Amino acid sequence: MLKEFKEFAIKGSFVDMAVGIVIGAAFSTIVKSLVDDIVMPVVGVLTGGVDFSNLFFIISGGDTNASYATLAAAQEAGVVTINYGLFINALVTFVIVAFALFMVIKGLNAAKRAEEEAPKEPAKPSDEVVLLTEIRDALKR
């Protein structure tokens, strides 16, 4: 059983998948930072200084008539909120990851098509075909 697991773990596809997961996790962290630290502040400035991470609706709890400056302050007061600003951040992150993945897949498909379109050497005839051709040529003489 251990031998079977070892064979499974060493197979190329398993290792490729593991590497892909690790790279994907690292890429996700980079994209999240890109969105949170670069894209959304620029969008915030363009929309009049809005900080999307602090956009929320108060549902209940705490003082529902109070005005909380930040999401953290509202949560600290025990207010239940709908955090639509964080959802917008997550949506932008998703769009960037989806676009990057689309570009990678598009590149792989183009490379695959180029490989398929490359001229291939004609297949060498099998030994049987060569033998039959020699017999045919000998009979013609």
- Render pLDDT for 48-64 as a digit per residue (tens, 0 to 9): 888 888 899 888 877 66
User: What is the C-alpha R_g of the chain?
Assistant: 30
Q: Residue 134: is its pLDDT beyond 80?
A: yes
Q: Which structural domains are found in the chain, ordered by start? A: 2-50+83-140 (1.10.1200)
If one counts every other C-beta atom within 10 angstroms of the C-beta of residue 58, the result is 18
Q: How confident is the model at residue 77 (pLDDT cuts 50, 70, 90)?
A: confident
- Please, what is the average pLDDT of the chain? 84
When pLDDT is averaged across residues 31-39 and rounded to a whole number, the result is 87
Tokens 């989806």 label which residue?
A: 98
pTM assigned to the model: 0.61
Contact 58, 83 (CB under 8 A): no
Distance from chain centroid for Cα 71? 30
**Cα–Cα dist 83/90, whole Å:** 11
